[in-house]
């Protein structure tokens, strides 16, 4: 069984992304915008066909949830995919902006 590709993180101040790159160079990413010190907005998730059926999108959102929880931040999931994942994962309610 092959190992899952590592999730990487880019932070450009008010914008950032989590991403996974295949050895062939395909990139799955979830972008976000930082609002102040305590909130992020998940803007967009894009998963190319090379990742389909592997749970890459869920892995990216899960990592954002874990990082937000550790940093005491809340998340506004504007991205339809991320919003759907929040509905499927009530255990993430502690980081969901109400």
On the question of pLDDT at 78 being above 90, the answer is yes
The neighbour count for residue 39, using CB atoms within 10 Å, is 16
Give the C-alpha separation, 96 to 91, whole Å: 10
Give the C-alpha separation, 75 to 86, whole Å: 10
**Predicted local distance difference test score (pLDDT) of residue 23:** 85
On the question of pLDDT at 20 being above 80, the answer is yes
**CA nearest 34: which of 18, 57, 63, 11?**
11
Residues 8-21 have a mean pLDDT of: 95
Of all residues in the chain, the percent with pLDDT exceeding 70 is 98
**CA nearest 81: which of 59, 98, 66?**
59
On the question of pLDDT at 4 being above 80, the answer is no
pLDDT-derived band at 5, boundaries 50, 70, 90: confident
On the question of pLDDT at 2 being above 70, the answer is no
**CA nearest 61: which of 78, 45, 76, 50?**
45
Domain 7-95 has CATH 2.40.50.100: no
């Amino acid at each position: 069984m092959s190992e899952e590709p590592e999730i990487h993180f880019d932070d450009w101040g008010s914008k950032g992304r989590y991403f996974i790159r295949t050895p062939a160079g395909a990139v799955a990413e979830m972008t976000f915008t930082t609002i102040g010190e305590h909130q992020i907005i998940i803007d967009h998730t894009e998963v190319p066909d090379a990742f389909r059926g592997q749970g890459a999108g869920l892995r990216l959102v899960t990592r954002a949830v874990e990082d937000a929880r550790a940093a005491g931040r809340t998340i506004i999931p504007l991205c339809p995919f991320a919003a759907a994942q929040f509905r499927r994962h009530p255990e993430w309610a502690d980081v969901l902006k109400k």
